[in-house]
C-alpha cells in the first residue's frame, strides 16, 4: 500500500518509520514549509524535534502535496491540531472517496467545538476517516518501543485495514468509537495539567491516586456527553494514554501543571518552559464552555479552570472533585 504522511514533525517521523517496517508499503512524507523541508531532505532527520532519529532512505520526502497523495491508500494527518483545518482544505483538492484518511492530531477546535475527524470530513466529505491514538511519545515510538494503539473508525472494516498496515512491532486494536477515542485523546492533556499541578504541590501519592480516580470518572462523563462510548475509557487510547500523559515529566502538559503547582502563574510557566502554547490549556477553555452548554457539571474542569483563570485556592482539591 502507499502511505502518505502529512507532516515531518516528531510524530510524523515516528509513524512513517512504523508504517515503513512493512516492506510492502511505500511511504511518502509531505513537508509544507520550504526551510523545514530542506533541512529534513538534506539530513534525513528533523533535528529541531527529533534529533538523531533518521528517516529511512526508501521513504520519499516531498513538498508536492499532489504527488504525495496520488494513488495513496492511506493518508495520515500528522500536523498540529491548529493546522488540521487548513491542511484538510488543501487535501480536499486531491483526496478521493476511496482513500482512508487517518488523523493523529489531538484536540477540539476552539469556537467550532469540532473534533479533528469532523474538520477533515467537512473539508473532504470522505467517510473513511480514522483516528490513531494510544500511550506514546514520539521519541519512544521512533526508537522502536512497543506500546498499544487504537485505530478507531465508524466502519470497523476500514479500521482493520489501517490496523494491518500499522501493526509492525506495535499492539494495535481496531474499534468503532471514533468520537470517544478523540475525546479521550484531547481531554487527557487537560488532566495532565491537573495531575502535574498536584505533583508541583508535592502531594502524597495516595492523594494523587485518589484525584486520578475522580479524573477517570470525569473522562467517562465527557466521552458520553459528546456521543462516545463509556467503555472507551478502558482502552489504550483511553486510560492508557491518560496514565502516560498524567504521570510523565516528558509530557508538556504535566510539566506545565507542575510549575503551576509550585506557584508559578500561567505566563511564568510558559516562560520557564520556553513555549508559547500548551495543548491542554486551549482544550480546557473549549471543553469547559462545551460542557456548560450541554448542562454537564464536570467538577475537575471547573476546579482547574478556577485555579488557572480566577486565582482560586488550591486547597482541598480532592474534596472539591470527590467521587
Q: pLDDT digits over 302-311, tens only?
A: 999 999 999 9
**Residue 160: C-alpha distances to residues 17, 75, 76, 233, 251 (Å):** 20, 15, 15, 20, 29
Cβ proximity of 246 and 215 under 8 Å: yes
Summarised one tens digit per residue, pLDDT across range 234-252 is 999 999 999 999 999 999 9
Q: What is the mean pLDDT of residues 40-63?
A: 95
**Amino acid 205: pLDDT:** 97
Distance CA 178, CA 115 (A): 10
- What is residue 6's predicted lDDT score, i.e. its pLDDT? 98
| Cα–Cα distance for residue pair 105/11, rounded to 1 Å | 9
Distance of CA 309 to the CA centre of its chain: 24
| Per-residue model confidence (pLDDT) at position 64 | 97
CATH number of 180-321: 1.10.1040.10
The residue-averaged pLDDT of 34-38 equals 93
Domain boundaries, the chain: 2-176, 180-321
> Residue 162's CB: how many other CB atoms inside 10 A?
27
Determine phi and psi for 248, rounding to 5 degrees.
Answer: -115, 135
DSSP letters of 71-129?
T-SEEEE-S-GGGHHHHHHHHTTT--TTSEEEE----B-TTT--BHHHHHHHHH--S-E
Q: What is the pLDDT of residues 91-131, one digit of tens each?
A: 999 999 999 999 999 999 988 999 999 999 999 999 999 99
Q: In this predicted structure, what is the pLDDT of residue 42?
A: 94
- Give me the pLDDT at residue 135, please: 97
The whole-number pLDDT of residue 174 equals 98
pLDDT above 90: percentage of residues in the chain: 93
Question: Which are the contacts of 83, defined by CB distance < 8 A and separation ≥ 6?
Answer: 105
pLDDT at 276: 76
Q: Write the CATH number of the domain with boundaries 2-176.
A: 3.40.50.720
Look at residue 277 in the predicted model and tell me its pLDDT. 78
| Mean predicted lDDT score pLDDT of the chain | 95
Report how far apart, in Å, the C-alpha atoms of 161 and of each of 128, 177, 237 are. 11, 16, 18
Residues 248-302 have pLDDT tens digits of 999 999 999 999 999 999 999 999 998 877 889 989 999 998 998 888 889 999 9
Interval 6-34 mean pLDDT: 96
The most distant pair of C-alpha atoms in the chain lies apart, rounded to whole Å, by: 57
pLDDT band at residue 323 using 50, 70 and 90 as cut-offs: confident
Whether the domain at 2-176 and the domain at 180-321 fall into the same CATH topology: no
- Size (the chain), residues: 323
Amino acid at each position: 500500500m502507499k502511505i502518505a504522511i502529512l507532516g515531518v514533525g516528531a510524530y510524523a517521523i515516528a509513524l512513517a518509520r512504523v508504517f515503513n517496517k512493512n516492506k510492502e508499503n511505500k511511504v511518502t512524507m509531505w513537508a509544507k514549509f520550504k526551510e523545514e523541508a530542506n533541512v529534513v531532505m538534506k539530513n534525513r532527520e528533523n533535528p529541531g524535534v527529533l534529533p538523531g532519529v533518521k528517516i529511512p532512505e526508501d521513504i520519499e520526502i516531498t513538498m508536492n502535496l499532489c504527488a504525495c497523495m496520488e494513488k495513496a491508500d492511506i493518508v495520515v494527518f500528522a500536523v498540529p491540531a491548529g493546522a488540521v483545518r487548513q491542511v484538510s482544505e488543501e487535501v480536499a483538492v486531491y483526496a478521493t472517496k476511496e482513500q482512508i484518511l487517518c488523523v493523529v492530531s489531538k484536540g477540539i477546535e476552539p469556537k467550532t467545538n469540532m473534533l479533528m475527524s469532523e474538520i477533515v470530513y467537512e473539508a473532504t466529505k470522505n467517510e473513511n476517516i480514522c483516528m490513531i491514538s494510544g500511550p506514546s511519545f514520539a521519541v519512544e515510538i521512533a526508537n522502536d518501543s512497543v506500546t498499544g494503539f487504537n485505530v478507531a473508525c465508524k466502519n470497523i472494516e476500514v479500521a482493520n485495514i489501517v490496523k494491518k498496515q500499522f501493526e509492525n512491532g506495535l499492539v494495535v486494536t481496531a474499534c468503532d468509537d471514533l468520537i470517544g477515542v478523540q475525546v479521550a485523546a484531547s481531554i487527557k492533556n487537560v488532566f495532565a495539567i491537573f495531575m502535574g499541578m498536584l505533583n508541583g504541590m508535592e502531594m502524597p501519592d495516595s492523594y494523587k491516586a485518589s484525584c486520578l480516580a475522580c479524573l477517570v470518572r470525569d473522562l467517562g462523563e465527557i466521552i458520553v456527553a459528546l456521543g462516545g462510548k463509556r467503555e472507551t475509557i478502558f482502552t489504550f487510547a483511553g486510560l492508557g494514554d491518560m496514565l502516560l500523559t498524567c504521570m510523565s515529566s516528558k509530557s508538556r502538559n504535566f510539566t506545565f501543571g507542575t510549575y503551576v503547582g509550585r506557584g508559578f502563574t500561567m505566563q511564568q510557566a510558559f516562560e520557564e518552559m520556553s513555549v508559547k502554547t500548551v495543548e491542554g490549556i486551549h482544550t480546557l477553555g473549549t471543553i469547559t464552555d462545551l460542557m456548560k452548554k450541554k448542562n454537564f457539571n464536570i467538577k475537575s474542569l471547573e476546579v482547574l479552570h478556577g485555579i488557572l483563570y480566577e486565582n482560586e485556592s488550591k486547597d482541598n482539591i480532592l474534596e472539591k472533585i470527590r467521587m
